[in-house]
Structures are given as structure tokens and as C-alpha cells.
């Protein structure tokens, strides 16, 4: 009887152990599921790469073979991406705020033009998209050029770090490759001309890689990388100084063409261009491509790092530029600031979760859309954000979002000039700026314009100038992709009236009214 009781006790004990073991296994399985579930709903990481002055119309992406393979071929390439304005500081302000220039009030690259001014810092930096990301527990990193007047004494010096950034490695003032100053989390850091330590494109990459090593894996990250290339002074890395020695600027389209039917500034350059001007712009064209090879390396190394840390498949990578550029179009040697396609079109390549590879998308996108797209990816409630743009996530990944494309959008620019005449170009009088040899000036007070660009129904551009001629330019981009003929006198007056009404509406739009373009 005793042995029977012992046996029964053992069986009961075994059943208890078995039941406890099953409960433990069940608990561990449930815990694993919870952990995996929390990992799967972790917001995606985001990387935004913004180059400086990189065109897309004149072959600016040709040096970027790795970038096109690693981002474009693995995701979406937008063929109709535009800057809201063709100048660095106003355009970058649009990227940060998601607003048209008439709303963020940055007119040019000067402090008086509101570039990184104390007024800008007070009114707009607290509402820039990195602030929203920080509230979403994103770890944030900035590296490279910020705004042209950033870090100057009048703009608060290097101690000013805009809100929303955890790691801040920003260039003081305009693009440089060597001999520059950084603000590193509010502390001044001077750099010389040693390639290994100082070449800015490589430094931006290396600092971003350190950030990835030091980040917390529990939270998503956002990085904004802004290398100087291909902005002047066009200093290539030593290994690329001899590349493209036989390349010259494209001679097709509007290259070295007269601009008799265009606004006053474009009617000034001599045509044909002098041999010295052509030699100068060809040299600039080659050097621009040389500097971009280091950006291509940056993309490759960054992608490898993301892959090594197992974050590549959960990261959106966006590649773009602040605006386009020209080299000889309408006899203008080198610059930007004009309303034409070569200055306003930008590259835009995106890869990331939910984006199918090898997509070529024709939906129009403006750089004011970048901020809301990034916030959309981060899970921010966009109805609570007052920005002019709209998310283009639905265009790239329709399985993730529903959305519509805009039928038309605004382009605007405020011209710059000097109150006194350029001593080298006295015949042109005062009011001009950015004058090159041979008295070719790239900007003027009266180079102030606003345009409506539409791709739906009519592939048109309609522009009005704030000058004493009230000059108007209209182009049919389907029939005339190089904008050689201003057809303002040939267009149906009813269409001109429609475009004028659209322009008036857009010039006063704010927030959602900038997206309400049904009429």
C-alpha cells in the first residue's frame, strides 16, 4: 500500500512538472511573439541625402552609377521632381519646413534675405520636420551644409543648434571641401586641407557611420547628409582629380542659344559665347562630376553599413538635390536661379519598405513634399502638421497609403542685385549680381518671378515677372522641351487666364490650400 501511494505521488509530481513545463514553454513562446511583434512595428529608419547644385537635366546623375544601382534600381526613380525655388538657402528652407518660399520668407542666400536669420530661427526652426521626428523618439543626425548663413555671428554663431537634432555636425556658411569650420553639437571645430581628416564629403560619411555605431537599436533613426558636391569650388578627392578629362558640357538643347524672347536679364548675354566662357564652363562641368564620385562612394559605404547592422531592409533612403544647374544654356556660363527646367528639376531616388524595385514614376513631386513624406513614414498624424507640401509615399508604395497627385504647383524666386553698377560691366547699370567675365550677369533685382508648372492635361509652364515690363513667359514642354520659344502671344487667352488664376491662388496659399488644386 505504501509503495502504491508513493507511485501515485510520483505520478502526481510528474504531472505537475509536466504542466509547469508546458506553462513555461507557453510563456516563453508568448514572450518571443511579443518581442517579435514589437520589433516588427518599430517605425522605419530614414536617411535623406541632399547634394548641392546637382542637376538632372544635363547629365548630373551620370557619375552616380552606384547610387542609381543601390537606390534607384532597388526602389523608385521620379522623373518629374522639382525644387520650389532654384537657390540654395530658400530651397533648403523649403525642404526643412515643407513650405513654399512665400510662407517661410527666405528670399535668397543673404542674412537680409532671411537665410538662417534670428527671425527664421525663432519662427520656423521649431516647426521644421526634425522636431516632429524627435517627438516620435527618432534619434537624429545632421551632417554637412545647412543654410548659407548658418554659424555666422549675426546668425547666432556655432553655438546655435536647431531644435530636433541629437547629433549636429553642420558646416558654417556655404559649401567647402577643405579649410572650413563645423559646429559640432554647438562647439567650433576647425578643419584644414588634409584629405584623410578634412575632405568634407568623406567626413560627413564617417560621422554618420559613427552615429550608427553609437545609436540605440531600440529606437528608429533619421539622418540628413548634405555633402558639398557638386557646388563650387569643385575640389575633387585626390583619386578622382583626373577623371572625365575628355568630358565637356552637353552641346544640345538650349546650349549657347540666344534668348531674344525671354525676360530682360536673359537678353543681355552675348551670343555666341566667347571661347573663354566655353572653356571655363567646360572645366566647371568636369570638376562637378569629379566631386560627385565621392558622393557615390558615400552612398555605397552607407548602404553597406546599414546592411551590416541589419537595418537596410527597414530604412528608407531618399537621394535628391536642392536645385538644378546650368552650364551654357541660353549663353549663361554657370549658375542656377532661372525658371527653366535645367535649374528647377532635381534628381529624386527612393528605396525602402513597401517600395517595389525598378519603378520609374512620373507623378510630379516638389521638394516641399519631402518633409511630409518623411513624417508620413515616421507615423506622424499629418493633419496636425501645417505644411504646404503633400506626402508622396502613396506614389512609391500604394500598398501602404492611398493618395492623389497634384495637377500643378508653384515655382517662385526673388532676384538679387547690387545697388551700384559692377565696375567690370558698367554698360548694364546697377541692380545686377553674380557677374562673370564678358559681362554676363546671372541675377538681377528684376529676375523676380513666379510660375505655375503643370504636367496634367497640359505640359505647360506659365511665369510672370515682377519687373517694369510685367513680362510673361509661357512654354509648351511637350512640343518644346528645351523652352526655346516663348509662346505667350500664341496661346489661347482663355488658357492664359486659367494659368494666371492658378498662379494668384498659389502665391497666397498656405497649408492645405496649397494642395487644394482641383480647379
Q: What angle do CA 54, 370, 517 make, to 5 degrees?
A: 110
Tally the residues of the chain: 519
Q: Where are the alpha helices (DSSP H) in 397-492?
A: none
Residue 139 lies in a domain: yes
Q: What angle do CA 244, 250, 253 make, to 5 degrees?
A: 170
What predicted TM-score, i.e. pTM, was given to this entire model? 0.92
- Backbone angles phi and psi of 314, in degrees to 5: -115, 25
The strands making up 408-413's β-sheet, listed across from edge to edge, are 408-413, 449-454, 460-465, 472-476
Grid coordinates belonging to 267: 537678353
Whole-angstrom distance, CA of residue 330 vs CA of residue 272: 9
pLDDT band at 349 (very low <50, low <70, confident <90, very high): very high
**Average model confidence (pLDDT) for the chain?**
92
Looking at residue 519, what is its pLDDT? 52
Q: Considering only 15-24, 175-184, 292-301, 418-427, which range has the smallest mean pLDDT?
A: 15-24
Residue 37 lies in a domain: no
Q: What is the DSSP letter of 465?
A: E
Looking at residue 35, what is its pLDDT? 43
Q: Residue 437: is its pLDDT beyond 80?
A: no
Q: Residue 6: is its pLDDT beyond 60?
A: no
Looking at residue 30, what is its pLDDT? 52
Cα–Cα nearest to 441, from 242, 263, 191: 263
Of all helices (H) and strands (E), which one includes residue 136? none
How far from chain centre, in Å, is Cα 512?
A: 21
Residue 117 lies in a domain: yes
Total domains in the fold of the chain: 1
Query: What CATH number is attached to the domain comprising 311?
Result: 3.40.720.10
Looking at residue 5, what is its pLDDT? 40
Q: What is the DSSP letter of 72?
A: I
Q: Give tens-digit pLDDT for 357-381.
A: 999 999 999 999 999 999 999 999 9
Residue 194 lies in a domain: yes
Long-range contact pairs involving 68-73 (C-beta distance under 8 Å, separation at least 24)? 68/349, 70/299, 70/300, 70/303, 70/351, 71/299, 71/317, 71/319, 71/349, 71/350, 71/351, 72/349, 72/351, 73/357, 73/358
Looking at residue 424, what is its pLDDT? 74
Residue 27 lies in a domain: no
Looking at residue 2, what is its pLDDT? 41
What integer is the mean pLDDT of 346-365?
Answer: 97
Residue 500 lies in a domain: no
Cα–Cα nearest to 58, from 278, 251, 227, 235: 251
Catalytic residues: 88
Residue 429 lies in a domain: no
Domain membership of residue 260 as a residue range? 45-406
How far from chain centre, in Å, is Cα 172?
A: 19
Q: Residue 325: is its pLDDT beyond 90?
A: yes
Q: Which residue has the higher pLDDT, 516 or 495?
A: 495
Q: Are 250 and 158 in contact (CB under 8 A)?
A: no
Looking at residue 518, what is its pLDDT? 65
Q: Give tens-digit pLDDT for 233-276.
A: 999 999 999 999 999 999 999 999 999 999 999 999 999 999 99
Sequence-ordered list of residues with C-beta below 8 angstroms from that of 33, at least 6 positions apart, any chain:
none
Q: Give tens-digit pLDDT for 20-40.
A: 555 554 555 455 444 444 444
Q: Where are the alpha helices (DSSP H) in 189-250?
A: 195-198, 200-214
Residue 442 lies in a domain: no
Cα–Cα nearest to 392, from 132, 45, 76, 87: 76
What integer is the mean pLDDT of 111-127?
Answer: 97
What b-and-e string marks burial along 420-446, b requiring 16 or more CB atoms within 10 Å of the CB?
eebeebeebeebbbbbbebbbbbbbbb
pLDDT band at 15 (very low <50, low <70, confident <90, very high): very low
What 3-state class would DSSP assign to 404? coil
Whole-angstrom distance, CA of residue 191 vs CA of residue 445: 36
What integer is the mean pLDDT of 72-93?
Answer: 98
What b-and-e string marks burial along 484-504, b requiring 16 or more CB atoms within 10 Å of the CB?
eebeeeebeeeeeebbeebbe
* Rg, Å, the chain Cα set: 27
Q: Residue 14: is its pLDDT beyond 70?
A: no
Amino acid at each position: 500500500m505504501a509503495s502504491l501511494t508513493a507511485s501515485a505521488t510520483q505520478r502526481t509530481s510528474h504531472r505537475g512538472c509536466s504542466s509547469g513545463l508546458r506553462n513555461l514553454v507557453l510563456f516563453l513562446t508568448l514572450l518571443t511573439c511579443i518581442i517579435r511583434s514589437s520589433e516588427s512595428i518599430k517605425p522605419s529608419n530614414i536617411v535623406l541625402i541632399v547634394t548641392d547644385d546637382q542637376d538632372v537635366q544635363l547629365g548630373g546623375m551620370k557619375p552616380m552609377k552606384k547610387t542609381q544601382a543601390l537606390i534607384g534600381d532597388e526602389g523608385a526613380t521620379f522623373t518629374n521632381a522639382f525644387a520650389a525655388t532654384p537657390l540654395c538657402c530658400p530651397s533648403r528652407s523649403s525642404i526643412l519646413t515643407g513650405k513654399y518660399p512665400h510662407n517661410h520668407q527666405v528670399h535668397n542666400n543673404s542674412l537680409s534675405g532671411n537665410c538662417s536669420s534670428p527671425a527664421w530661427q525663432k519662427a520656423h526652426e521649431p516647426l521644421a520636420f526634425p522636431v516632429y521626428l524627435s517627438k516620435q523618439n527618432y534619434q537624429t543626425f545632421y551632417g554637412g551644409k545647412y543654410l548659407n548663413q548658418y554659424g555666422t555671428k549675426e546668425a547666432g554663431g556655432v553655438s546655435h543648434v536647431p531644435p530636433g537634432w541629437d547629433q549636429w555636425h553642420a558646416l558654417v556658411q556655404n559649401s567647402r571641401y577643405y579649410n572650413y569650420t563645423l559646429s559640432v553639437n554647438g562647439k567650433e571645430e576647425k578643419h584644414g586641407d588634409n584629405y584623410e581628416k578634412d575632405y568634407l564629403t568623406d567626413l560627413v560619411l564617417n560621422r554618420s557611420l559613427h552615429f550608427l555605431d553609437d545609436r540605440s537599436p531600440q529606437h528608429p533613426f533619421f539622418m540628413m547628409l548634405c555633402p558639398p558636391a557638386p557646388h563650387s569650388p569643385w575640389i575633387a578627392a585626390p583619386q578622382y582629380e583626373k577623371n572625365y578629362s575628355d568630358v565637356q558640357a552637353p552641346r544640345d538643347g538650349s546650349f549657347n542659344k540666344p534668348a531674344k524672347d525671354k525676360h530682360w536679364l536673359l537678353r543681355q548675354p552675348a551670343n555666341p559665347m566667347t571661347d573663354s566662357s566655353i572653356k571655363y564652363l567646360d572645366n566647371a562641368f568636369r570638376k562637378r562630376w569629379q566631386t560627385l564620385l565621392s558622393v557615390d562612394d558615400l552612398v555605397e559605404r552607407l548602404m553597406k553599413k546599414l546592411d551590416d547592422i541589419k537595418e537596410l531592409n527597414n530604412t528608407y533612403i531618399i537621394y535628391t538635390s536642392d536645385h538644378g544647374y546650368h552650364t551654357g544654356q541660353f549663353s549663361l556660363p554657370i549658375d542656377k536661379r532661372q525658371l527653366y527646367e535645367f535649374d528647377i528639376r532635381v534628381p529624386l531616388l527612393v528605396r525602402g519598405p513597401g517600395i517595389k524595385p525598378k519603378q520609374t514614376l512620373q507623378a510630379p513631386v516638389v521638394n516641399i513634399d519631402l518633409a511630409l513624406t518623411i513624417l508620413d513614414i515616421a507615423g506622424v498624424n499629418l493633419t496636425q502638421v501645417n505644411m504646404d507640401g503633400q506626402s508622396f509615399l502613396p506614389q512609391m508604395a500604394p500598398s501602404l497609403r492611398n493618395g492623389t497627385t497634384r495637377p500643378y504647383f508653384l515655382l517662385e524666386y526673388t532676384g538679387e542685385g547690387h545697388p551700384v553698377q559692377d565696375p567690370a560691366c558698367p554698360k548694364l547699370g546697377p541692380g545686377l549680381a553674380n557677374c562673370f567675365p564678358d559681362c554676363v550677369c546671372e541675377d538681377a533685382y528684376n529676375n523676380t518671378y513666379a510660375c505655375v508648372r503643370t504636367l496634367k492635361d497640359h505640359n505647360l509652364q506659365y511665369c510672370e515677372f515682377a519687373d517694369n515690363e510685367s513680362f510673361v513667359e509661357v512654354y509648351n514642354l511637350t512640343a518644346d522641351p528645351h523652352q526655346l520659344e516663348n509662346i505667350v502671344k500664341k496661346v489661347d487667352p482663355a488658357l492664359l487666364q486659367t494659368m494666371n488664376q492658378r498662379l494668384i491662388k498659389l502665391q497666397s496659399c498656405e497649408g492645405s490650400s496649397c494642395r487644394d488644386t482641383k480647379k
